[in-house]
Amino acid sequence: MQITTSAAPWWQHSVCYEIYVRSFADGNGDGVGDLVGIEQRLPYLADLGVDSVWLTPFYPSPQHDHGYDVADYRDVDPLFGTLADFDAMLATAHDLGIRVIVDVVPNHTSSEHPWFHEALAAAPGSPARDRYVFRDGTGRNGERPPNNWVSVFGGPAWTRVPDGQWYLHLFDSQQPDLNWWNDEVHAELDDVLRFWLDRGVDGFRVDVAHGLYKQPDLVPRKRGDRLPHPMWDQPEVHEVYRRWRKLLDSYDGDRMAVAEACAGTPEAMARYIRPDELQQTFNFTWLEAPWSAAAFRKVVVDTFASVGLVGGTPTWVLSNHDVVRESTRYGGGPAGVARAKAAALTMLALPGSSYLYQGEELGLEQVDVPPHLRQDPAYHRGAEPEGRDGCRVPMPWSGDTAPYGFGTGEPWLPMPDDWAGLTVEAQQADEHSTLQFFRRALRLRREVTVGLPDQVQLLDSAPGTFAFRRGDLVCVVSCGSRTARLPDVAGELLLASGDGVADGRIAPDTAAWFRAR
């Protein structure tokens, strides 16, 4: 299949599927997912109906944060394959009409990056140290950290090196922060983007996009500080994205970038997608919202208000590799999965781009990984009481027992004993499965949303429900506890996430699409 170009850039309305590389498909039997595994499974994703995939970092890395600690930005970790495997995977994806975006991690490197080795070997005040954020400590002998900043993963954001200086790491101590006040850092990351664009990637997911710059005087934080945060969302960061936008635009094919930015206000979020900056930023408001029609309504209203400030397009995200799976967040069990399907169908009716996380289409729930097997540094440093491993358990593809066709080796995280009914194979054979529902929803989305307006009209609807109309598509989601009346405008039923839509009524935990009357 050829990738067709239309007037609107492809990313504006795409469904992008996040592949957590180490957990998607293991092609070489070592228990860890890899690029060969991904390539083999791309036909599955084409059949599912996604437009693009986002690959989490597969670059050489000691894997302290599963690849978000990059030791070499221009290669593939042997754990995941080779550059040739990457090229082959990319070519196959493009042949299938699937765009590929890759992760770029500009806020920090791995402590195994050659630059950090050089920095450690060099003297305080040297150019090699200036690529990172090294400072002298406080206290009589510099034995206390330079300030009181705390790592996102827990504990102090500073680690001391043998000569007495300290370096900053907003995440794990093995993820030293780069110094974006240093021009060499800019040149290096520009070159990294070019490296992957030249190989043909369609875009980037920018990790911790609101990081990068820290206030140069590293002011300490006070409890309850309302001042602008000295670690995040500094104004200078936008200059980086302006330059990156020019760089992206210098290539053909609507290359794009989506920011993982967490800025405090809708206005601050919108700044990342000004017309001369990045194309998208993840909208995490839905992912943070409870199962509630009022909350969903507010998410939609606030999102349009935010992107409207800059004329941007919205994105919608229910889950990713950092959060508890939405089926579990919504209560777990059959009701949790029914609600997750309903939320997904609602999201897919909206203008803009939807991001799915692998396993969402199978209705996977969060797995309770035994504490001694947890690998997440945020768990070990204390910031995440359960850790993020529970949403990162490998994908079940086939068969009745672990590793369910994920590969032939022992999977890097244990897979539950009761997943036989959740495998791709099992769900493909069942017309009523969650997977078949997602296939139908993505197909229908392609058919019925083409040419629909990018605005939605919120509809008055029964208590416990949220309803909107987009052109002649009507979407209703019911989060209440009893069957509710559908809005009059809901005509022919196109697709429902459950069986309970009949006689002008919709059952709880269900969403449906209708043609407007």
Task: From 76, 106, 283, select the one nearest 193 (Cα to Cα).
Answer: 106
Tokens of 360: 């969402």
Q: Which residue has the tokens 């390539």?
A: 39
| 382-to-228, 359, 433 alpha-carbon distances in Å | 26, 27, 38
Q: Which is nearer to ligand GLC, 321 or 341 (CB)?
A: 321
Q: Which residue has the tokens 């974006």?
A: 180
Q: How far apart are the first and last CA of the chain?
A: 36
Tokens of 373: 């097997």
Tokens of 455: 């605005």
Q: Which residues contact 282 (CB under 8 A, 6 or more apart)?
A: 258, 259, 260, 261, 315, 317, 320, 355
Q: Which is nearer to ligand GLC, 297 or 321 (CB)?
A: 321
Q: Which is nearer to ligand GLC, 232 or 513 (CB)?
A: 232
Q: Which is nearer to ligand GLC, 258 or 489 (CB)?
A: 258
Minimum gap (Å) between residue 152 Cβ and ligand GLC:
7
Q: Which region holds residue 115: left if phi is over 0, alpha if psi is between -120 and 50, else beta?
A: alpha
Minimum gap (Å) between residue 321 Cβ and ligand GLC:
6
Round to whole Å and give the CA distance between 26 and 409: 8
* Residue ranges binding ligand GLC (CB under 6 A): 65, 68, 105, 171, 207-208, 260, 321-322
Round to whole Å and give the CA distance between 45 and 75: 25
Burial of 151 (0-12, 13-18, 19+ CB in 10 A): buried
Q: Which is nearer to ligand GLC, 186 or 321 (CB)?
A: 321
Catalytic residue among 207, 326, 361, 384: 207
Task: From 185, 18, 216, select the one nearest 106 (Cα to Cα).
Answer: 185
Q: Torsions phi, psi of 340, nearest 5? A: -60, -40
| Amino acid symbol at 228 | P
Q: Torsions phi, psi of 515, nearest 5? A: -85, 135
Q: Is 447 tagged catalytic? A: no
Minimum gap (Å) between residue 491 Cβ and ligand GLC:
41
Minimum gap (Å) between residue 400 Cβ and ligand GLC:
32
Round to whole Å and give the CA distance between 203 and 166: 35
Minimum gap (Å) between residue 171 Cβ and ligand GLC:
5
Catalytic residue among 51, 260, 326, 361: 260
Minimum gap (Å) between residue 383 Cβ and ligand GLC:
10
Look up residue 129 and give its DSSP letter. H
Q: Which is nearer to ligand GLC, 207 or 509 (CB)?
A: 207
Round to whole Å and give the CA distance between 212 and 272: 13
Minimum gap (Å) between residue 379 Cβ and ligand GLC:
11
| 100-to-201, 210, 278, 349 alpha-carbon distances in Å | 6, 23, 17, 23
| Amino acid symbol at 190 | D
Q: Which is nearer to ligand GLC, 145 or 211 (CB)?
A: 211
Q: Which is nearer to ligand GLC, 260 or 360 (CB)?
A: 260
Q: Which residues contact 12 (CB under 8 A, 6 or more apart)?
A: 313, 352, 353
Q: Is 65 tagged catalytic? A: no
Minimum gap (Å) between residue 238 Cβ and ligand GLC:
20
* Residues tagged active-site: 207, 260
